[in-house]
Amino acid sequence: MAYLTDRKRALGMGSAKTGTAHFWAMKVSSVALLILIPLFVFTFGAALGGTYEDVLAYYAKPFPAIVAALTLAVGFKHFNDGVQVMIEDYVHGLSQKVAIILMTCLSYGAAAVGIFAIARIAL
């Protein structure tokens, strides 16, 4: 072991090989939200001010329901990725793993509840 060069010693000990994939996932979800948020605002804005029955009838149409569900799903996935980066930067040890697991469960759970609510309205 003492006769290894620095390069040989460092080979295979570098990155965890997930940073680039995580970076691109954040970029893709950012671009998706750049498109979805204005669509959601315009579709949601059309339902504002209506009666309960009007809103239910509006979200029974496929386009507003799909836009709302996609916005929730992509938004919470983006939220989860961003919080994971913050936790990895500022929390260490066992509490880091616990915090990442809790935030992943919270974000996926909130997305599931939102999508379920939209599905109940749309169907």
pLDDT in tens, 17-71: 567 888 899 999 999 999 999 999 999 998 999 999 999 999 999 999 999 999 9
The model's pTM is 0.82
pLDDT of residue 5: 73
The tokens describing 3, both together, are 């006769």
pLDDT of residue 13: 54
The tokens describing 76, both together, are 């919470």
Residue 100 has pLDDT above 80, yes or no: yes
| Overall average pLDDT of the 106-120 stretch | 97
Spatial contact of 63 and 118, defined as CB atoms under 8 Å apart: no
Highest mean pLDDT among 4-8, 19-23, 95-99: 95-99
Task: State the chain's mean pLDDT as an integer.
Answer: 90
CATH architecture under which domain 19-122 falls: Up-down Bundle (1.20)
The tokens describing 51, both together, are 């009666």
Lowest-pLDDT choice from 7-11, 60-64, 79-83: 7-11
pLDDT of residue 21: 84
| Overall average pLDDT of the 100-112 stretch | 97
Residue at token pair 């974000």: 107
- Kindly list the domain boundaries of the chain, sorted by start residue: 19-122
